[in-house]
Amino acid sequence: MRIGVLTGGGDAPGINACLKTIVTQCDEYGFEVFGIKRGWEGLLSLNPDVPDERSLHIVPLTRHLVRKIDRTGGTFLHSSRVNPGNLSRKEVPLFLQCALKRMGRGLINAAHFDATFHVLRVLEHLGLDTLIVIGGDDTISYAWHLQQQGVAVVAIPKTMDNDVFGTDYCIGFGTAVTRSVQYIHQLRTSSGSHERITIVELFGRHTGEACLVSSYLAGVDRTLIPEAPFDPERLADLLIFDKAANTSNYAMVAVSEGARMVGGKFIEYCRHHIDDHVLQRDGIGQLIRDTMTMLTGEEIIWQPLGYLMRSGIPDALDIMVGCNFAQLAVELIRKNVSGVMVALSKGVYDHVPLAVVASGTHQVDIAELYDPEEYRPKMRCVLGKPMFFY
């Protein structure tokens, strides 16, 4: 059995623990494992007609090679956000562009070029029996596309936002929350010292789960998530109240990067208080800071955490889930099961068809977990709920 493994999308703590377990478990069964560097880009950039370049994109994975990688964050195999089924002209390797030109095909629709035919050729050239794909929605959606082309694929969900549909937990989420809580508490020092309102911007473009759970655990005053548009005037009033009610005279608000104002208010404040290019560059946190400054008359601290949420060593939860997801993936391959994603469902390890991942979106249950009037987590009853609430 020859197994290929790749990591796509953003890096996340826990991936290396997952990779190490894949290799050690496969070694137990006598399977060979080959790491594909830089995600789907590795398969796209490999030219089967130039054997000397293979080592640039493929690395045999052994126990010795992966012995220490679980002690660090990130991904040992590197990553990319390339999707071979949806490429721009600049993402198509030069050798492939030349080959297409010789074939008389060219890049007719450069904005949506599909190089799956080349990826299939490379997989056949490598002689891989199964592909393990570690990634988020975009990475796994292309894995499902390959499965439909006859490639045996097992996927492992990984994303800081925890937004892959079909699983309650993705590798990286625990560390993202742990880091966020730590930095929120550290920022209280400056907020209290200078008696200011502080806006902490967190990852979460399409779902506010990371922001919601971090806010719940860190006890911030207000929380803004994509699933519930907020009114800036209402937020300003609440923050003034929170600041006055705090004996140290400060307030904290956590914001998902995908948070949004109610429609008309967004247009009003975006046009009058911040221009479009700044919003595109700096995002919602910048807009909220400028808006709150105008509405409250207060000095505002704005701190985007960004990559700090995903940098460094994983917490114990991400190591555990990464290892267990890997073990389950290899066990499924051993049983000739493919076309699935390993998952956690209500605290139990499981697997779901890859088709399920593309069938819905993972979002916060507003009715159960959030108060859209007070802009706060609302976890009033946990009896009978799974560990991650979802």
Measured over the CA atoms of residue 14, residue 386, residue 342 and residue 364, the dihedral's sign is negative
- Inter-axis angle of helices 316-334 and 15-29, nearest 10: 30
Q: What pLDDT is attached to residue 210?
A: 95
Which amino acid, one-letter code, is at 322? Answer: G
CB 200 within 8 A of CB 254: yes
Enumerate domains of the chain plus CATH numbers.
2-172+312-357 (3.40.50.450), 176-309+366-377 (3.40.50.460)
pLDDT of 370 above 90: yes
**Whether residue 128 has pLDDT greater than 80:** yes
Given 11, 70, 137, 161, the catalytic residue: 161
- Rounded to the nearest 10 degrees, the angle between the axes of helix 284-296 and helix 263-273 is 80
Token representation of residue 224:
């803004």
pLDDT tens by residue, 42-96: 999 999 999 888 999 999 999 999 999 999 999 999 999 999 999 988 888 999 8
Mean pLDDT over all residues of the chain? 92
Which of 44-53, 105-114, 241-250, 317-326 is predicted least confidently?
105-114
Contact 229, 261 (CB under 8 A): yes
pLDDT in tens, 9-26: 999 999 999 999 999 999
Cα atoms found within 13 Å of the Cα of residue 333, Cβ hemisphere only: 31
Given a cut of 70, whether residue 108 has pLDDT beyond it is: no
C-beta separation of 228 from 366 below 8 A? yes
Cβ partners under 8 Å of residue 229, min gap 6: 260, 261, 262, 263
Q: Collapsing DSSP states into helix, strand and coil, what is residue 348?
A: strand
Q: What is the DSSP letter of 332?
A: H
pTM: predicted TM-score of the whole model, two decimal places: 0.93
Q: Please give the Cα distance from 228 to 212 (Å, whole number).
A: 12
Catalytic site includes residue 371: no
Pairing of strands 376-377, 370-371: antiparallel
The Cα–Cα gap between 356 and 353 comes to 5
Q: How far lies 39's CA from each of 42, 115, 389, in Å? A: 6, 15, 31
Please give the pLDDT value at position 321: 97
Residue 272: pLDDT band with limits 50, 70, 90: low
Q: What is the model's pLDDT at position 104?
A: 64
Query: 69-73, 227-231, 281-285: lowest mean pLDDT where?
Result: 281-285
Higher pLDDT among residues 34 and 390, named by residue: 34
CA distance 237 to 371: 16
Kindly tell me if the per-residue pLDDT of 167 is higher than 70.
yes
Return d(Cα 208, Cα 363) in angstroms, integer: 7
Measured CA angle at 222 (ends 256, 247), to 5 deg = 140
